[in-house]
Chain A
């Protein structure tokens, strides 16, 4: 069973619907005991970092997330879920989970592409250049695009964490991977076939110990 972490960060049903389409049993829950028994954890989220971290701390899920990553359960972060696993987010000046060393930064207001002001949020379809040969990102065509909607972007302290990069006025890290943790800034559940492929790959992936 795939556990989807509910920490009151937006509507999580889209992820569940995509997994149901893939015939993967899943459950949206905030109960750490149920999540402990899950084979895989998906940590999604839409909204603001400050409120998300407050909810995670209040529920104690912050400690559990660290534990799951350390103990070898495959964990997939999506969008805000990806951002709060870093040390710190510029959004609401928020201290985050510190699972991945680095920051989450706001897109600069004066970004330009070809002399035109770039709109924020970064909303729509964009490419990801995957750099790690990772089972979760296997089999994706180079032309595949993914659906993004965000105003802040992950900036890992070490490039070694980065699994994928995207260009939007600046080049930013749109996917991270190390050990049992995979995290993406885009929404695989809303990215058509290539997004569903990532979710299916993740559900099949046994994590680092099984490799």
Chain B
């Protein structure tokens, strides 16, 4: 049986982490490669990089980061942020990432999912979704809508309908971020995660709101997520990946315990 995956998320700007990762002795790591190595050694099952650099120059710096990460860690990792075309995807994949994620770019131009899946296979294409609760309407029957541009622009597009559409277009996985829960550290949005995960046939990574190991237990069981994204709770060393896994294991959730 598959293990539930614990995935640290690292935000990168111009080749540096935007928030430092505290390592042993509370040393701040600003280098994404070193942070990736630290998480790899602590038992992360996968790593997500999100490049928040907008410029073309920033992009080539990110490609170099990807190349160095690929020489350093031997687990899968994905890269998202500003990937608009198959050529953008190719650069990141050839530099060594297993997966690329598309978010705003895919909402604005859904065909990029199909083109990416055709070029590299569905397993390479992660759909990032930023989702906000809204009132149920004929446009948004699920009561959740897609937001884009890092959460700034509401689209009025139904989140569940979009998830299914993206699956049909060839997305191999969904990284589902709740804008409402993001940054609160009060727990993932369980209802949203369950709704999406139980209505698609591809794996769902829950994102937004993780603060305590109990939150991961909840989203991986009641939320039916296949994986959980963690950020602040591990970056600031409030918790470690190993400790979270031990907690989940103790509560009957299968995780990878040997690494």
Contacts and interface: CB of A to CB of B under 8 A. Distances in A.
Interface in B58-114: 70-71, 74-76, 93-94, 96, 98
Contacts of A113: 1
A135 interface: no
Interface string A113-136: 100110111111110000000000
Contacts of A196: 74
A13 B94 CA distance: 8
B130 interface: no
Contact of A190 (B74, B256, B258, B259): B74
A48 B71 contact: no
B258 A141 contact: yes
Interface residues of A, number: 38
Interface in B174-209: 201-203
A125 B5 contact: yes
Interface in B187-234: 201-203, 224, 226-227
Contact of B74 (A119, A122, A189): A189
Given A21-B74, A117-B201, A196-B74, A126 B1 contact: yes
A141 B201 CA distance: 32
Contact of A121 (B45, B75, B122): B122
Nearest to A13: B96
Given A20-B71, A117-B201, A119-B203, A10 B3 contact: no
Contacts of A6: none
Contact of A192 (B3, B96, B227, B259): B259
B71 A21 contact: yes
B120 interface: yes
Interface in A128-159: 141, 143-145, 147, 149
B172 A123 contact: yes
Interface string A95-127: 000000000000000000100110111111110
A11, A17, A190, A195: residue with the most chain B Cβ atoms closer than 10 Å: A11
A143 B259 CA distance: 9
Interface of A: 10-11, 13-14, 17-18, 20-21, 46-48, 113, 116-117, 119-126, 141, 143-145, 147, 149, 167-168, 189-196
Closest 7 CB pairs of A and B: A143-B258, A125-B3, A125-B256, A124-B2, A145-B256, A149-B123, A192-B259
26 contacts: A10-B120, A11-B93, A13-B94, A14-B96, A14-B98, A17-B70, A21-B74, A113-B1, A117-B201, A119-B201, A119-B202, A120-B201, A121-B172, A122-B2, A123-B173, A124-B3, A124-B227, A125-B256, A126-B2, A145-B3, A145-B256, A147-B75, A190-B75, A192-B259, A194-B258, A196-B74
Given A17-B71, A124-B2, A193-B74, 7 more contacts: A10-B120, A121-B123, A124-B226, A126-B2, A145-B256, A192-B40, A192-B75
